[in-house]
Copies of this chain bind each other. A is one copy, B any other.
Amino acid sequence: MELNLELAQQVLAAQPFSVLVGARVTAFGDGGATLELDIRDELRQQNGFLHGGVLAYAADNAITFAGGTALGADVLTGGFTISYLRPAKGLVLRAEARVAHSSRRQATCTCELTTLDESGTITLCAIAQGTVIARR
């Protein structure tokens, strides 16, 4: 199945964990996908920052959706690497993933995770890299 933004949003809405976290797909296509979520208290760790697990979730899912732009809807993520750069805080977390290369069976993607704060400042807080596999 070919995906577009509307279908990608339906897939995300069908993921109970993404609903629990409060994620939304805000861009999909042209070899990339963007996920966003509002930073709310339930998503923090003990020091008030966004929990690293939320960033990891966002990287995983943005990479999976980006892979879906190349491989279609029936994909699974083989794995990914995330490097945390700065504590994440602000209003919104944005995970922008792009396909670096894809074959018929596999897509390798990179992802930048940024936060947007009250003043409109965008801060890079993590980078990730991962592989998506077509289930055929």
Name A's B-contacting residues (CB within 8 A): 11, 14-21, 41-46, 51-54, 56-61, 64, 76-87, 100-101, 106, 108, 110, 124, 126-129, 131, 133
22 contacting pairs across A/B (C-beta < 8 A):
A15-B51, A16-B43, A16-B45, A17-B51, A17-B54, A19-B42, A21-B53, A53-B60, A56-B59, A57-B57, A78-B131, A79-B82, A79-B131, A80-B81, A81-B82, A83-B131, A100-B124, A100-B127, A110-B110, A127-B129, A128-B129, A131-B131
Residues on B with beta carbons closer than 8 Å to the beta carbon of A84? 76-79
Q: Which residue of B is nearest A51, CB measured?
A: B17
The SS class assigned to the A binding surface is: mixed
Interface contact B11-A46, CB-CB below 8 Å: yes
How many copies altogether? Answer: 4
Ranked 10 nearest A-B pairs via Cβ: A53-B57, A17-B51, A56-B56, A79-B83, A85-B101, A14-B46, A81-B81, A15-B45, A83-B108, A52-B60
Residues on B with beta carbons closer than 8 Å to the beta carbon of A17? 42-45, 51, 53-54
